[in-house]
A = this chain, B = another copy of it.
Amino acid sequence: MTVNREIHLASRPQGWPTADNFRLVTTDVPTPGPGQIVVRNRFISVDPYMRGRMNDVKSYVPPFQLDAPLDGGAVGEVVASEADGFKPGDTVLHGLGWREYALVDAKGARTVDPNLAPVSAYLSVLGMTGLTAYAGLLDVAAMKSGETVFVSGAAGAVGSMVGQIAKLRGAARVVGSAGSAAKVERLRALGFDAAFDYHDGPVRDALKAAAPDGIDVYFDNVGGEHLEAAIGAMNLHGRAAICGMIAQYNATEPPAAPRNLALLIGKRLTLRGFLVGDHGHLREQFVQEMAGWLRDGKLSYDETVVDGIENAPEAFLGMLRGENLGKMLVRV
């Protein structure tokens, strides 16, 4: 292949994005300058947080630019290098996804071992996704052995890790919510003690049935009704790690407030938002512990793979609609 194809942001979505917000653009394969490498991407990550970057608002990461390629986590092989420490054939993890060939500054790339795990794992269980679950559960929410944990979006890439890590770290009971019967079934197979489809009725009722003695930790990927139900179910000194609120990323109306925030006082609850980037100090411990669990067959991870860069927008949209089980990836 002598050309490169990449996905540009053609327009900013209002509410739910559509295919029209994206554009497939053909360019030349880039040539590396000093300190740069060119990477042939193999797997590209599409993640919920990218929806926020499509809005033109100040946030913790700058918004995507119109008529320029989107970016995000990717793993691939070095095909040309003008940087020390990288040679053609190396497998690298970097931040310039949504394209077939990426021109990457060496300081933005990290070599990974393709023999330790399938390379896609560096975008999921052994990557940012896994660390998000690990840090949110153990550092932000400070889960202790013997506690009851509830995770929403539990069949997603992060949620499915949260539930399994919780069990491996001694949680007494782990409850997950997901958006289909098939996902609920998968959660049970992954070792969740209880799981429910949030379409089946009020989250509050389902959570009460699944955790009759209340919950100590809530890992929030969804927000809204899920967060309100979790606050209601929390035991004294409960903690919520707020990782995402996918329920409202495409909302055009402000969400209704959780109506029960006053419970924070009497129950002495803590809600804490976090970004994985603040928890890099856990990376070594995370990799060691996760790799051990993977090696021992104690940890499973799901991937939903869509083929072809031209289908990256559809993969992203499907992920927002919850069509993925585990990590949504584009194979290039």
A residues contacting B by CB (< 8 A) are: 52, 59-60, 223, 227-228, 242-245, 248, 254-275, 278
Contact = CB atoms under 8 A, between A and B. Distances in A.
A170 to B, nearest CB: 25
- The interface centre, meaning the residue of A243, A248, A268 with most chain B CB atoms within 10 A of its CB, is A268
Contacts of A270: 270-273
Contact of A254 (B245, B259, B271): B259
A267 B223 contact: no
Q: Which 6 A-B pairs have the closest CB atoms?
A: A264-B273, A254-B259, A60-B266, A265-B273, A270-B272, A271-B271
Contacts of A268: 272-275, 278
B259 A244 contact: no
Nearest to A231: B273
A59 B267 CA distance: 8
Contacts of A59: 266
A225 to B, nearest CB: 10
Given A257-B257, A261-B227, A261-B258, A273 B278 contact: no
Given A270-B270, A271-B270, A245 B257 contact: no
Contacts of A275: 265-266, 268
Contacts of A266: 52, 59-60, 273, 275
Contacts of A254: 256-257, 259-260
A255 B259 contact: yes
Contacts of A248: 262
A218 to B, nearest CB: 13
Contacts of A257: 228, 254-259, 261
Nearest to A57: B266
A289 to B, nearest CB: 24
A273 B269 CA distance: 5
Given A259-B255, A272-B270, A265 B244 contact: yes
A245 B274 contact: no
Contacts of A242: 261, 264-265
A227 B262 CA distance: 11
Nearest to A49: B265
A322 to B, nearest CB: 18
Contacts of A272: 264, 268-271
A244 B266 CA distance: 9
- The interface centre, meaning the residue of A223, A242, A274 with most chain B CB atoms within 10 A of its CB, is A242
A265 B245 contact: yes
A185 to B, nearest CB: 30
A42 B259 CA distance: 39
Given A242-B261, A254-B257, A268-B274, 4 more contacts: A59-B266, A245-B265, A261-B271, A264-B271
